[in-house]
Chain A
Amino acid sequence: QKEVEQNSGPLSVPEGAIASLNCTYSDRGSQSFFWYRQYSGKSPELIMSIYSNGDKEDGRFTAQLNKASQYVSLLIRDSQPSDSATYLCAVNEGGGSYIPTFGRGTSLIVHP
């Protein structure tokens, strides 16, 4: 059973701070990694994709991948109240099946 683990939170940070969201996965053969944001009552929307070790930056968001440690993280700089949402980590298996597995999500609260 492939697993993707996230701390459910809530993670509470003040406006303007850096929010750090973490995710670990069990399948060493995993090849692609995604962060989705889901507002309450809405559908998940893609924030970042990352496929190779290291950092990937897009605006205020940075995804970090460490395949040796089976760890992927999302940093949100200059957090805004509008960033308050649940962040879902998703991992695609390798080996040609590419079955997506989602973590249970981390609830982020950015308070003014």
Chain B
Amino acid sequence: DTAVSQTPKYLVTQMGNDKSIKCEQNLGHDTMYWYKQDSKKFLKIMFSYNNKELIINETVPNRFSPKSPDKAHLNLHINSLELGDSAVYFCASSPDSSNQPQHFGDGTRLSIL
């Protein structure tokens, strides 16, 4: 029943490791997003895909690489994790890339030791 689901919910790992976060939506939406929410709760967009095509790529280190195998999935791979990557990462989707609100997943809390 979950509309936008992310896994894992919690991710604790060492600096320098590589990790992935998966996201799936069953709403039939065309557009998916990745956001980072820092400790001060600021929600900042990282990437957006519309129908598997990258349409938004904000200023994010190239250690972050999104992958969209189909329009229902948008995964985030992070290489060489750094302390500053600790945050909550939210996946979201919207019907299309125009003026539509977004539905958010429950978030993945990433903690770097």
Contact = CB atoms under 8 A, between A and B. Distances in A.
A interface SS class = strand
A86 B90 contact: no
Nearest to B100: A32
A46 B107 CA distance: 15
A14 interface: no
A51 B45 CA distance: 21
Interface string A86-112: 101000100001111110110000000
Interface string B63-101: 000000000000000000000000000100000011111
B105 A43 contact: yes
Given A43-B105, A86-B41, A51 B56 contact: no
B102 A46 contact: yes
Interface residues of B, number: 22
Given A44-B104, A45-B104, A92 B42 contact: no
A3 to B, nearest CB: 12
A31 B41 contact: no
Contacts of A60: none
Interface in A15-59: 31-32, 34, 38, 42-46, 49, 51
Contacts of A100: 33, 45, 102
B12 interface: no
A32 B99 CA distance: 6
Given A44-B90, A104-B42, A92 B99 contact: yes
13 contacts: A32-B100, A43-B105, A43-B106, A43-B107, A44-B90, A45-B104, A46-B103, A86-B41, A98-B97, A98-B99, A99-B45, A100-B102, A102-B42
